[in-house]
Structure 1
Amino acid sequence: MVNIRELDPAASPLDYFGYELRRRREAAALTQRELGAIVFCTGSLVGQVETGAKVPTREFAERVDAALLTDGFFSRLVGLVLRSQLPSWFQPFADMEATAAYISTYQAQMVYGLLQTEAYSRAVLATGVRDRLDELVAARMERQRILLREEPPLTWVVLDEAALHRPIGSHQIMREQLAHLLTFLDHKWVRVQVLPFLAGEHASLIGSFTSLRFDGHPDLVYTEDIISGHMTANPETVKEAALRYAHLQASALSVEDSAALITRVMEERYAQAAEPDGRGVA
């Protein structure tokens, strides 16, 4: 039976998407099954999106735009929908990250979210809440689209060497993730440095942090604890973070030497023969 649950378009981006999808599909005199056939999915899936039971993917939105001749409406809206799937405590940072002119981050445990592959992201996010895993992964992939802009933010990432060695997911996932990091070697707007174990004690033994710089607005510093994130524009904190980051950059390998280390770890630690369960072994 066709689900006819009515949505309040003002309730959330997801409800607005579903409301508009139904309205424009009906205006085109298409059933859910007919629209599904056009966009290569089931009518049931169309119905789930129209009732807010399913979060649309960007691919779905783009196909619906083409099918209903909506001039990119759903493709523009789906970014808001996916961002709304991020944890509520993280959304303010994601909003600020998306408008920053310069992002600098030190990551002590894992690869920064903007540089993660989908498989790596899924393995990381699966350590937390699993019931919305697909939505959270899609939201993280959507967040990375800021790097595809014509003028993306300058993004400078210092990774602790531990992030290269810690196996997240399978060895194949790690190999693909490290290979992905190497693709940024010639990227104009992204720089990756590795803080090697040989650096010993360093300026951020206390943990990871991210600084955001804006055109015409105060800088921000973002940190996380076990359950939430914290942003501050306190001038003393911003100044202290900038000083610590300068020390981290000075202690880290050059971009070129970092790429060489990433390559060496990828080939030596994650060059693999697969075990029967599909996980790689060094």
Structure 2
Amino acid sequence: MNLSVVRINELDPSASPLDFYGSELRRLREGAGLNQAELGGCIFCTGSLVGQVETAKKVPTREFSERVDAALGTDGMFSRLVGLVLRSQLPSWFQAYAEMEAKATYISTFQVQLVYGLLQTQDYARAVLATGMPSNLDDLVAARMERQRVLERERPPLTLVTLDEAALHRPIGSREIMREQLQHLLSCQQRRWVRIQVLPYSAGEHSGLDGSFNLLRFDDDPEIVYTEDMIAGHMTANPETIREASLRYANLQAAALSVEDSADLITRVMEERYGDDPGPDERAVA
């Protein structure tokens, strides 16, 4: 007996978004009168890959989902569902924040060590996520890229980013990855709803010395503050905490360079530290 058939028959669509996706893919594929190989031929992949997705052994990509929608005429169902599937691959303690982030109308973030996740390039994100030595690195990278779709929606959140200058200098991955990342920051500056400011070393002590934090605001829900420690993340809607975090963020913005001067600094670091001059290839060691 074919073990893959047994596995797919036992798939519980209520177990997870990935299981639901797989069971729906199988149901609609069979309803269209196609076997796995035939559907694979329609969407430019192998029948084996289709089978792995149907048995929840493989996480589908957005491109895979869009091609399935086109092949099966499912009116964007899998393209909508894949967002839930990818979010389910995030660490369990982070999923609640990712859901709130996707609903926010206003995001303000202060980042000490790294570029904010919504502004990371794929290669930069991969290098950052690899430091945790996860077994599902590809899925985590795909999930992080999926989070960034919030900036592409019709009414994206107003996103105010304050980066400590250290985030520009810390070499993540390679010189090429860092150059691409800093160039991406400059490109993000061109978006009307994104504003990036750099807190320079010359600012000295500041109100964010305790670490990175995010403030999220919504149309109909209370504001929240999100912080992380080494193990997990923490959200709170406590009014006093919100008030304190808002004051700290206002102070950080006041101490940071203007958006224009920040762009000049990013450009200077990109060219002088990660430019064409070969120099030593500095890599992240953490």
| Same structural fold, with TM-score higher than 0.5 when normalized by the shorter chain | yes
1:37 matched to 2:38? The reply is no
Instruction: Give the helix-richer structure, 1 or 2.
Output: 2
1:107 matched to 2:108? The reply is no
For 1:118, which of 115, 119, 122 is the aligned residue?
Answer: 122
Q: Output one character per residue of 1:111-139: Cα deviation in whole Å (capped at 9) or x when no partner.
A: 00000000000000000132010000000
RMSD: 1.5
Structure 1 SS opposite 2:93? coil
**Any conservation in 1 of the 2:171–2:282 contact (CA below 8 Å)?**
no
Q: Output one character per residue of 1:227-270: Cα deviation in whole Å (capped at 9) or x when no partner.
A: 10000111111100000000000000000110010000000000
Q: Distance in 2 between matches of 1:167 and 1:52?
A: 36
**Share of identical aligned residues, percent?**
71
Q: Tell me which residue corresponds to 1:154.
A: 158
Q: Distance in 2 between matches of 1:122 and 1:186?
A: 24
Q: Which runs of 5+ in 2 are unaligned?
A: none
Q: Distance in 2 between matches of 1:219 and 1:213?
A: 5
Q: Output one character per residue of 1:5-50: Cα deviation in whole Å (capped at 9) or x when no partner.
A: 1211111110000001111111111111111111111111000000
Q: Tell me which residue corresponds to 1:173.
A: 177
Q: Tell me which residue corresponds to 1:16.
A: 20
Runs of 4+ deviating beyond 4 Å: 278-281
**Any conservation in 2 of the 1:272–1:280 contact (CA below 8 Å)?**
no
1:53 matched to 2:48? The reply is no
Q: Which runs of 5+ in 1 are unaligned?
A: none
When the two structures are superposed, what TM-score results if normalisation uses the length of structure 2? Answer: 0.95
Residue 190 of structure 1: how far off its partner (Å): 0.6
Structure 2 SS opposite 1:3? helix
Residue 59 of structure 1: how far off its partner (Å): 0.1
Pick closer, same or farther for the CA change 1:33–1:182 going to 2, 3 Å. same
Q: Tell me which residue corresponds to 1:230.
A: 234
Q: Tell me which residue corresponds to 1:3.
A: 4
Equivalent residue runs for 1:263-274 within 5 Å: 263-272=267-276
For 1:76, which of 64, 75, 80 is the aligned residue?
Answer: 80
**Any conservation in 1 of the 2:119–2:188 contact (CA below 8 Å)?**
no
Q: Distance in 1 between matches of 2:135 and 2:201?
A: 36
1:25 matched to 2:29? The reply is yes
1:138 matched to 2:107? The reply is no
